[in-house]
Amino acid sequence: MTTLTIQDVSRRSGLSEPTLRYYEDVGLIRAIPRDERSGHRRYAESDLDDLQVLACLRAMGVGIEDMRTYQANRVIGNAAADEQRDILLRHADRVEQQIVTLQVHLDYLRAKAALWDARANHDPVAEEAAQTAVAAILPHLEETIR
């Protein structure tokens, strides 16, 4: 049976070596067998599936407890489908709110850049339009920084 080193698994999963050790310590992944001679962890190819799922969840900001539940539910299978869906939708709602916030921030940055561009080009008409745009964005921006 082919085994993988922690370096191999880190490279292939995108998770750092300390993160891999931590996930094992907190029970997100099974206890990884050790090489009898060196004591180094030896991962199986099948461990990569769990780790890639965890890497995706982590990248999306899913917390440890939801990751733990998600992993446990993967073992249960279809009987846990409702809970899996709910976990994912809850985080999808959070990501969607982040997108809305980031769009407001982007709109503000572009409007301010347009304002400074108008000033650099000595264009009072464009400057007034940019100031109007900034003023329209400010109430939304204030909501995102509270």
> Beta strands 3-4 and 43-44: pairing type?
antiparallel
In this predicted structure, the answer to whether residue 145 has a pLDDT above a threshold of 90 is no
Amino acid, res. 2: T
pLDDT recorded at residue 136: 95
Q: What is the pLDDT of residues 18-41, one digit of tens each?
A: 999 999 999 999 999 999 999 999
CATH 1.10.1530.10 fits 3-59, yes or no: no
Residues in the chain: 146
Stretch 55-65: mean pLDDT, rounded?
Answer: 95
Confidence band, pLDDT 50/70/90 cuts, at residue 146: confident
User: How many CA atoms does the CB half-sphere of 118 hold within 13 Å?
Assistant: 17
Q: What is the pLDDT of residues 65-118, one digit of tens each?
A: 999 999 999 999 999 999 999 999 999 999 999 999 999 999 999 999 999 999
- Alpha-carbon gap, residue 125 to 117, rounded angstroms: 12
Longest pairwise C-alpha distance within the chain: 76
pLDDT recorded at residue 1: 67
In this predicted structure, the answer to whether residue 139 has a pLDDT above a threshold of 70 is yes
Going from N- to C-terminal start, the domains of the chain cover 3-59, 92-144
Alpha helix positions (H), the chain: 6-13, 17-25, 45-59, 64-76, 81-120, 124-144
